[in-house]
Structure 1
Amino acid sequence: MAARRFIVEADGGSRGNPGPAGYGAVVRDGDTGQIIAEAAEFIGRATNNVAEYKGLIAGLRTAHELDPAATVDVRMDSKLVVEQMSGRWKIKHPDMQPLAAEARTVFPRGQVGYSWIPRERNKDADRLANEAMDAGQAGRAWEPKARPAAAPVAGSLTDGSPVDGSSVAEPLAEPAAPRAGWGSAADLGTATTFVLLRHGETALTPQKRFSGSTGSDPELSEKGRWQADRAAEALAARGTVQAVVSSPMLRTRQTAEAVALRLGLDVRVEEGLRELDFGAWEGLTFAEAQERHPEDLTAWLASTKAKPTGSSESFASLTQRVGVARDKVLARYAGKTVLVVSHVSPIKTLVRLALGAPPDSVYRMELAAASFCAVQYYSDGNASVRLLNDTSHLR
């Protein structure tokens, strides 16, 4: 059976560059040109290029959910993104590098091709990006609208036959979380609760060594496994967790699996919850990093925009991906209690964002191994921190 073929059209925009930004993407059937899925999201303050890359990633992920074996023809009116993803232009800007790397992980190499199209042929993705920005600036989540079937994209038909256009598949877009704010006094419904669990100890934890997303990916130690079991016991006694989501790192998956087994649940992996990339500091103690890279460490402690030596990301860029991961989980598990198993940096970031605290507050939080935090999110966008660094289940 021949592999299915999709056309992904993606776009992003920023009202200010940087300014309020959003993206849109459509997935078309490669044979008929008919739109079969849409995605859009308000992403807060960002540049046009960041929004365009995020639109590309959303379009690819939406296509992947439809059929991971499909071949994909990506069409965008961004010459920059098309040339960079095709490998003809170097990616020099630090904000673009992790986004391009993420886009390349969605489908295996060879299943995706890129081509530039004029802006007038990218109207559907552009429309969705503007809808997302309008919704976000109004404090609302973007929601897909019922639309008549779209005309086929030029050049997408293989045999020149007309398109019936009698039906459109249900959109697969995951809406963004609303902006923060108390909103009206109306009934806001059931809050979505994130129970945030830092993974148990590894061999590196008691030595306080940097352990990020590009290091050795250590497993839980014997003590770490004991901590994971204690966390599982505590959550089983509470009986409130309805879903388990984990970072892809081994230590978090092992912790999440211990809890999920006890609760009779599956573990869903969310890539955006992985730890910060600590670059050349991976495996070093703070003192060793200070001795070998004193200027970089000083800069990192002074600004959340600074990166560890040789790292691909700062706290600022980590905040962007964690925010996207948060919004995906909120959309998927609205009104439920979700165990989110992650690392120090992502959990601190989620707490900071919920508090509306300044970026450098991440340097002023302590999170022990296997500790619990809890945040509740309401439909008007308000977030309430309910717990921080609780280790009572380990005593």
Structure 2
Amino acid sequence: MSIRFHAASGQRCNRYLLMRHGHSQANAQHLIISTPGRGLASFGLSEQGEAQLKALLAAWRWPAPTRILHSDFLRTTETAGRVAAHFGLELQPEPRLRERNFGAFEGLADSHYHDVWVHDARDPEHREYGVESVASVAARMQGVVASLEQSLRDETVLLVSHGDPLQIMLTALEGRLLSKHRDREPLLPASITVLD
């Protein structure tokens, strides 16, 4: 079964920059850290991630954000904090931007992502291994943008999140089948994507 979200139509009231967190300790250890129990207080940025952010901020080429919302996991909070300090902005935690919950694979090797993605391609509503479904991730991520569109005008909003949720949101906003979210070029750590 495949689900298609209709692409957002018309002009948005705000501009959005989507940022994946910098390289993290979980990335360095090749671990899946996807639950608040582990992700909120542990597995922050690695030395490589710190260096990525320093280079990114030194060569910033996007519109300057006027507001920053971030997943409250440590790696995204630290990433958002570096950007906020650079631009003199406050941080706003947004739990809907959290990592996708990978269920039974929590704390295991990141090679298990592939096991989930195989099921994603067949059914974006699946919850095999106790994972959060692609459809659920798409709904909560799109909900962030929808609520910002109702409450803000003419802001440049930086949303700091995680690889899978951002890829799923982009797929949904483009009106593509959610089962195809892994067909997108993977978002690299500390990368920024402008939401057109």
- 2:12 matches 1:180: no
Say if 2:8 and 2:174, in contact at 8 Å, map to a contact too.
no
Residue 234 (structure 1) shift: 3.5
Aligned length: 187
Q: What is the CA-CA distance between 1:373 and the residue it aligns to?
A: 0.7
Q: Distance in 1 between matches of 2:100 and 2:89?
A: 27
1:196 paired to 2:13: no
Do structure 1's residue 222 and structure 2's residue 30 form an aligned pair? Answer: no
Other-structure match for 2:32: 210
Q: 1:339 to 1:288 in 2, by over 3 A?
A: closer
Kept in 2, the 8 Å contact 1:201–1:369? The answer is: yes
How far off its partner does 1:329 sit?
2.3
Match of 2:166 among 320, 324, 347: 347
Q: How does 1:123-202 map to 2 (within 5 A)?
A: 180-182=8-10, 191-202=13-24
Distance in 2 between the 1:208 and 1:361 partners? 24
Q: Distance in 2 between matches of 1:287 and 1:256?
A: 27
SS in 1 for 2:38: coil
1:332 alignment partner in structure 2: 151
Structure 1 residue 200 displacement after superposition: 0.6
**Contact 1:305–1:314 (8 Å) recurs in 2:** yes
Q: Look up the SS of the partner of 2:27 in the other structure.
A: coil
Could you tell me the TM-score, scaled by structure 2's length?
0.82
Equivalent-residue separation in structure 1 for 2:121 and 2:31 (angstroms):
16
Change (3 A) 1:258 1:279: same
Alignment correspondent of 2:95: 271
Unpaired runs of at least 5, structure 2:
none
Identical columns (%): 27
Flag structure 1 segments of 5+ consecutive residues without an equivalent: 1-44, 46-178, 183-187, 376-383, 385-395
What is aligned with 1:368? 188
Q: Supply the RMSD in Å over aligned alpha carbons.
A: 2.6
Query: Which structure's residues are more often helix, by fraction?
Result: 2
1:325 positional shift: 1.6
Equivalence for 2:130: 310
1:255 match: 79
In 2 relative to 1, CA 297–363 (structure 1 residues): closer, same or farther, beyond 3 Å?
closer
Structure 2 distance, partners of 1:320, 1:213, is 18
Letter in 2 for 1:181: S
| TM-score, normalisation: structure 1 | 0.43
The answer as to whether partners of 1:231 and 1:259 remain within 8 angstroms in 2 is no
Pair 303,203 (structure 1): closer, same or farther in 2 beyond 3 Å: same
Of 45, 49, 57, which residue of structure 2 is paired with 1:232?
57
2:63 and 2:156 in contact (8 A); partners too: no
**DSSP 3-state at the match of 1:284:** coil
Aligned to 1:200, the other structure's residue is in SS state coil
Question: Is this contact kept in 1: 2:28–2:46, CA < 8 A?
Answer: no
1:205 aligned counterpart, secondary structure: helix
Cα 1:228–1:329, aligned 2, differ >3 Å: closer, same or farther? farther
One-letter amino acid matched to 2:87: L
Query: Would you say the 8 A contact 2:36–2:73 is kept in 1?
Result: no
TM-aligned CA distance change 1:239 to 1:363, over 3 Å: closer
**AA of the residue aligned to 2:80:** A
Change (3 A) 1:257 1:358: same
Q: Which amino acid aligns with 2:35?
A: S
How far 1:180 sits from its partner (Å)? 3.2
Aligned to 1:132: none
Whole-angstrom CA distance in 1 between matches of 2:163 and 2:137: 12
| Partner SS, residue 160 of structure 2 | strand
Structure number, greater radius of gyration: 1
Corresponding letter in the other structure for 1:370: A
Q: Say which SS state the counterpart of residue 339 (structure 1) adopts.
A: strand
Equivalent residues in 2 for 1:48-67, closer than 5 Å: none
Find the aligned partners of 2:37 and 2:163 in 1 and give their Cα distance: 15
- The answer for the alignment partner of 2:67 in structure 1 is 243
Task: Provide Cα deviations, 1:243-280, integer angstroms capped at 9, x if missing partner.
Answer: 11111111001000000001000011111110111111
Classify the secondary structure of the residue corresponding to 2:194. strand
Q: Secondary structure at the match of 1:340?
A: strand
- 1:80-126 CA deviation, whole Å, 9 max, x = no partner? xxxxxxxxxxxxxxxxxxxxxxxxxxxxxxxxxxxxxxxxxxxxxxx
SS of the aligned residue for 2:25 comes to coil
Higher RCO by CA contacts (8 Å cutoff, separation 6 or greater): 2
Aligned match of 1:157? none
Counterpart code for 1:310: G
Task: Quote the Cα distance in structure 2 between the aligned partners of 1:346 and 1:288.
Answer: 17
Contact 1:229-1:259 within 8 A present in 2 as well = no
In structure 2, the CA distance between the partners of 1:205 and 1:308, relative to structure 1 (3 Å rule), is farther
